[in-house]
Amino acid sequence: MADGLLDWLDSPRADAGIQLADEADGFEQHSYEELAARVAATSGWLRDAGVRSGDVVALVYTSGPSFVATFTAVLCVGATPTPVAPPTYFPDRQQYLRRTAAILAAAAPALVACDPALEAIVGEAAQLARLERPAHAWEPRADHSAELVRARPAELALLQFTSGSTGTPRGVRVGWSNLEANIDAIRRWLAMGRDDVTAMWIPIYHDMGLIGCVLTPLVNRSTILMLRPDQFIRDPNRWLDCFGRRGATLTASPRFGYAYSRRRLAADRLEDWDFSDWRVAIVGAERIDAGALGGLASALGARGFRSSAFRPAYGLAEATLAVTGTNGEEPVAARLRWDELEFGADAPAAEVRPLARTELERPADWLVGCGRPLAGCGYSIVDDDRQPLPDGRVGEIVAHGDSVAAGYHRHDTADGFEGGSFTTGDAGFTLDGQLFVIGRLGDSLKAGGRSVFAEDLEAKVAGVDGLKRGHVAALLGVHDSHPTALILTEDAAPESADRVRRLVRVEAGDDARIVMLNGPRGTIERTTSGKPRRRVMWRRLESDGLAGGGVSVVFDELPRVRTAPGVGVER
């Protein structure tokens, strides 16, 4: 029988727990035995504060034991936790206040619990959300003791707000059975044992960080080495050190984490590291870059790292977290003939190759396989009429199984949820039993009878000389009746414009309008997990334009029509 979400409280380990990175080069030790005592004390505080069964409690913490204790205590009093990002993940105060107020207004929490240092700004957001109660910070005293009393569980174990890549964030209603089923599926997938050690740097409020790197090892009663994201950004070698010297065996990260670690790798420290015990490196949350994985595997291979440790995966908050993943075999990548890509047709795979330890040429042309369904999870590929497509056909991914959530919070319509399945809005196909994810259907356009996907175009444009990786976004859709490809860049060199124009024209075809806008850093709106908020920016383009505020139009090229063979005329 699978372990329940709170079973670890019955016999908390004194020899395992959370090790929180300090501001030097060490880690503060917090055993699960100590954490259980904090859960008991915090649950008493929540009851005294008036939290009752069925309430929602918002949690705004930077990291660490305080978050985990409060999250667990909320469950113990029969309420539902909803994690919210702290202000450190936002470029300015006003953006944080607007975003947080919108989430709080949608969640309508009975209480907002936060770190003491955040009480003022979180309280301001609570006021903007018109909550009746301000934010509260509370920490148990060292000598505080209380008896843990568990109330009947709420209907929901988690109200997980999406990162907002499709627009206004929506709260996903994750039931107890959904969360426990997905945690069990992940533990089985990774063959997790008590001696495994998970090292993490991704945000604790994000579904990958919360469920994959905190709740799963917590239920597993195994140790977590926890860095804050800002600590990782300052020195990713500190995260690598968790595997090279401190015995970590498991992790999860978007591809950015692996690519960034490769770029910032301290070569002089390699001799001190042994990565032979690093057996799982989950890759997910965004399109997987074959070049990033191959580069890191090549750099660390001499010190015992195996590229088979990479576990490319596909998941989403609406399915709690994970849907598919590779099972310890060498990851594979498929090179597509992108000019032949068409929805409903056979995937034009020119070559399938093991990732191995070498970087693939033209990484943007390759898709990494995301494995097979986890236990209790599944997916299908469907056409425009939601009819199943056979293996090899490009269509829309529908997730189904025990982990699919109950729907969106306070939404009257199903919005893709139906009978234990969720229509994801992602395009993909199955090849040799593995799922390959192409990109968002909402972030695509038709060009010459084929589909062009924003993530693919963005990856190719990012390789143009004069552009900075991580500072390019592609927005695709129909604007002013024209199929339009808009490339938004930050601090682009002027000489890059012609190369971008030629590349996008080839990719988008003659019947598309292509536009390039350039602005300063911060121009591209992103979710708190780093994804471009394409649909939000697209709607703003349609309503009042994106230019202004330092953003300039580099070029705006209208569609071309053919008046005679080989003759292009601007329309």
Q: What is the pLDDT of residues 216-246, one digit of tens each?
A: 999 999 999 999 999 999 999 999 999 999 9
**What are the extents of the domains in the chain?**
462-570
Task: Please provide the size of the chain in residues.
Answer: 571
Beta carbons within 8 Å of 296's beta carbon, 6+ residues apart = 258, 259, 261, 262, 305
Helix (H) or strand (E) holding 490: strand 482-490
Q: Report the amino acid identity of residue 448.
A: G
- Give pLDDT, residue 90: 79
Weakest mean pLDDT among 2-16, 110-124, 330-344 = 330-344
- The predicted structure's pLDDT at residue 59: 97
Pairing label, strands 450-453, 280-283: unpaired
End-to-end CA distance of the chain: 66
Query: What confidence score (pLDDT) does residue 365 get?
Result: 80
- Interval 51-75: pLDDT, tens: 999 999 999 999 889 999 999 999 9
Most confident of 189-203, 479-493, 554-568: 189-203
Residue 464 sits at the vertex; the CA angle it makes with 463 and 467, to the nearest 5 degrees, is 95
Identify which of 101-115, 142-156, 276-290 has the greatest average pLDDT: 101-115
Please tell me the predicted confidence (pLDDT) of residue 493: 92
Least trusted range by pLDDT, from 23-27, 196-200, 371-375, 441-445: 441-445
Please check the confidence at residue 196 and state whether its pLDDT lies above 90: yes
* DSSP 3-state percent helix, strand, coil across the chain (nearest 5): 30, 30, 40
Domain 462-570 classification at class level: alpha beta
pLDDT for res 570: 31
Which of 85-94, 494-503, 542-551 is predicted most confidently?
494-503
pLDDT at 385 (0 to 100):
85
pLDDT of residue 469: 75
Residue 167 has pLDDT above 60, yes or no: no
Identity at 88, one-letter amino acid code? T
Residue for token pair 């089985």? 188
How much is the mean pLDDT over the chain? 88
Q: Grade residue 156 by pLDDT with cuts at 50, 70 and 90.
A: very high
Q: What is the pLDDT of residue 237?
A: 97
Kindly tell me if the per-residue pLDDT of 537 is higher than 90.
Answer: no
At residue 496, what is the residue type? S
Residue 289's nearest CA partner among 310, 317, 275 is 310
What is each CA distance from 68 to 47, 122, 154, 219, in whole angstroms?
Answer: 17, 19, 18, 12
Average pLDDT in the 493-500 region?
93
Question: CA-CA distance, 178 to 531, in Å (whole number)?
Answer: 25
Asked if the model's pLDDT at residue 571 lies above 80, the reply is: no
CA 355 to chain centre: 22
pLDDT of residue 99: 87
pLDDT tens, residue by residue, 96-114? 998 899 999 999 999 999 9
Question: Is 252 or 510 the better-scoring residue by pLDDT?
Answer: 252
Lowest mean pLDDT of 204-218, 382-396, 479-493, name the range.
479-493
Q: Token pair for residue 307?
A: 């590229």
Q: Distance between CA 247 and CA 198 in Å, rounded?
A: 9
Residue 566: predicted pLDDT: 35
Banded pLDDT at 415 (limits 50, 70, 90): confident
**29 pLDDT more than 50:** yes
Contact call for residues 158 and 82 (beta carbons, < 8 A)? yes
Residue-level pLDDT at 242: 98
What's this model's pTM, rounded to 2 decimal places? 0.85
Q: What integer pLDDT is reported at residue 480 of this predicted model? A: 67
pLDDT at 356: 67
- Distance between CA 140 and CA 3 in Å, rounded? 28
